[in-house]
A = this chain, B = another copy of it.
Amino acid sequence: MDRRTEILRRAAEIFARKGVSNTSVEDIANAIGVKREAIYYYFRSRIDILLEILLPTSRTLLNSMRLICRTDLTNREKLKAALESHLSEYTPGYIEMTVAFREEHFFADTEKASELSETWDEYGKLWTDIIIDGQEAGEFNADLDPKMISFAILGMCNWMSRWYNPSKDVSIEEIINTFFTMSMDGVSTLPKEQPAMKNPDAA
């Protein structure tokens, strides 16, 4: 593992454990056993390191989502695939890192920071598109606001980094199945009221 990769890995661990705002470049240097200057040789700042951690995962998620949207799966199946893709990229401390990024972004108007914001925007939009397409195809309840639904599902998933403990909790697969059942059918044992259809012929 080269020094650059080592810095990114150790920084990600420390960010997840004690929060970005409590981590200095010096802390990262100490954890690796080098001087601060050795970190500055590769990165300009803590936010630069954070960007390098968040960008690859975010790009991977967006690319995977673009592919999912271009398949011939039903929208129900696309949503399952989207959940699988999103949760298999689970990262501890993800919320903490995205919050720190948003906060520090005010002061780091670089090209990479814009790329990250744009990646997240397009990613959210593709989730909403699946809901809209599913409503038009009669697969999903057309009474519900599609943006609210896609953000509800993403919120469900992203909140995981606040309670999920990979070492003692259940498997990611079980979480995917639970969130999918919940998104599709909810928790109630009562039959659904007949949901609204945009296009009843398609159902």
Contact = CB atoms under 8 A, between A and B. Distances in A.
A189 to B, nearest CB: 5
A105 to B, nearest CB: 9
Interface in A3-51: 18-22
Given A158-B159, A187-B141, A148 B131 contact: no
Contacts of A183: 182, 186-187
B187 A134 contact: yes
A193 B175 CA distance: 19
A134 B188 CA distance: 9
A103 B107 contact: no
A181 B131 CA distance: 15
B189 A186 contact: no
How many copies the complex holds: the figure is 2
Interface stretch (A53-61, A65-73, A109-117, A149-157): A149-157
A134 B186 CA distance: 13
Contact of A175 (B18, B20, B148): B148
A76 to B, nearest CB: 6
A182 B143 CA distance: 11
Interface in A153-169: 153-160, 162-163
A191 B192 CA distance: 7
Nearest to A15: B103
A126 interface: no
Given A96-B103, A134-B187, A141-B187, 4 more contacts: A19-B99, A99-B99, A148-B170, A154-B159
